[in-house]
Amino acid sequence: MFPESAEQGERQMTPVSEQRQYSRRTSYIIAEYTILEGTFRDIIKNIGAGGLFIKTYRKVAVGQPITVRFPLFNFDQTVEVTGRVVRRDQDGFAVTFHETIEGLVCKEGHFPEIVHESDRLIKNDV
């Protein structure tokens, strides 16, 4: 996957995965985030110790600050992180955190277990 320039549509030469300090894992978590335009709710599609990707139709400006709130290890505890929007494409935008979420650091090739919205549905059905 190569990031595209929002205005020019030019491909950069370095794959996104090679630019990251921490690996990311696929996720499906509803998050609330605050940017300059307001507060919104969308889905976190992937997450790692150093950042995440939010799927949205909104045209979020690259470079702006963001605060994101979401459940991570259980639905009863919300994490709040701050960061900066570093990339945008037609599917959403990527965020780099100001501080690492230590609990998400991949150790010995394994990610820690995190919540998934499908688990919330199962939990509420019981």
Q: Residue 51 pLDDT > 70, yes or no?
A: yes
Range of the domain at 107: 19-125
Number of domains in the chain: 1
Asked if pLDDT for residue 11 goes beyond 60, the answer is no
Does 12 fall in a domain? no
pLDDT at 9 over 50: no
Any domain includes 34: yes
42: domain CATH number? 2.40.10.220
- pLDDT of 124 reads 54
Confidence grade of residue 19 (pLDDT, cut at 50, 70, 90): low
Q: What is the pLDDT of residues 98-119, one digit of tens each?
A: 999 988 887 777 778 888 887 7
pLDDT-based confidence at residue 62 (cuts at 50, 70, 90) = very high
Residue 102 pLDDT: 87
Given this model, what pLDDT does residue 52 score? 97
Integer Rg of the chain from CA: 15
Q: What is the structure's pLDDT at 24?
A: 84
Decide if 58 is inside a domain: yes
Contact 46, 29 (CB under 8 A): no
Residue 82 lies in a domain: yes
68-96 per-position pLDDT tens digit:
999 998 888 899 999 999 999 999 999 99
Query: In this predicted structure, what is the pLDDT of residue 112?
Result: 80
pLDDT at 123: 53
Question: Is residue 64 within 8 Å of residue 84, measured between CB atoms?
Answer: yes
The answer to the question of residue 59 being in a domain is yes
Assess if residue 55 is contained within a domain. Answer: yes
Residue 81 lies in a domain: yes
